[in-house]
Amino acid sequence: MPSPKAIVLITGANQGIGFATAQQLASTSNFHVLVGARSALKAQAAVKELESVAVNKSALTPITIDVTDDASIAAAAKSVSDEFGRLDILINNAGIAQAPDTNGTLREQYRQIFDVNVFGVAVVMDAFLPLLRASTYPDRRIVNVTSGQGLISRAGKKGHPSNAKAYFIPDYRSSKSAVNMITAAYSVNLEDEKIAVIAAAPGYCRTSLTDGKGAKEATDGAKVIVRAASEGDPGELSGKYIADESWSFGW
């Protein structure tokens, strides 16, 4: 039976900022949250934990989706299609800050990061676009989680506390720059269909992605993503970069 709530899929929702985003959306009565994780076990465990804060426990569904595996992505899209027939909001949250195999070649390190952060975003968007197009929800959105590290203007700004001299991580930074371009390109392409595409930068949060380092908690970073997914005028926000400091920045 179709859900009367907005159907939201969050990739990488079993931990960190993705989990905190799921918590905040599930704590309202407005959303049915699809909790995406690389394995069924992780997705189910996250749902069980989220049930303690959810307004409605039945408005949580575990989804197995490995963003580096095209077959897994296709299977996830089919699962959502079979159960709901649509998707209203997509949050591309899954990401890594460094290659899992740090002993690999430089090419391999870049490939691993881009496989999750860039190729994963692109393929997930492509797989779920038919379901977003099938939705009659008046506020359809795609939120791509990015980082201030991906801003080219910031990387080269002398004296900036997070410029490329302070944080020389060109593999990660360039992957998020690519996410920003994907966001900008799709926002133009989907404008006539009224599907907003927004980049959200949660900031430097203390999660496993940052080895527990950061300026704020994951719950604070998740607020930025929730804003991008559910607040403001989608027409005005589409193609924009949203962070703590304001609604939008230059790239």
| pLDDT single digits (tens) 16-56 | 999 999 999 999 999 999 999 999 999 999 999 999 988 89
Verdict on whether the full-model pTM lies above 0.85: yes
pLDDT 10s digits, 137-175: 999 999 999 988 888 877 778 887 778 776 778 999 999
- Give phi and psi for 141, each to the nearest 5: -145, 150
Q: Which of 160-164, 224-228, 232-236 has the lowest mean pLDDT?
A: 160-164
Q: What is the pLDDT of residues 53-105, one digit of tens each?
A: 888 999 999 999 999 999 999 999 999 999 999 999 999 999 999 998 878 89
Residues 86, 7: Cα–Cα separation, whole Å: 8
Strand partners, 242: 200
What's the sign of the alpha-carbon dihedral 12, 14, 17, 23? Answer: positive
- For 60, phi then psi, to 5°, come to -130, 130
Domains of the chain: 6-242 (3.40.50.720)
Catalytic residue ranges: 172, 176
202 in Cβ contact with 145 (< 8 Å): yes
Tell which residue, 141, 104, 131, 123, has the closest CA to residue 225.
141
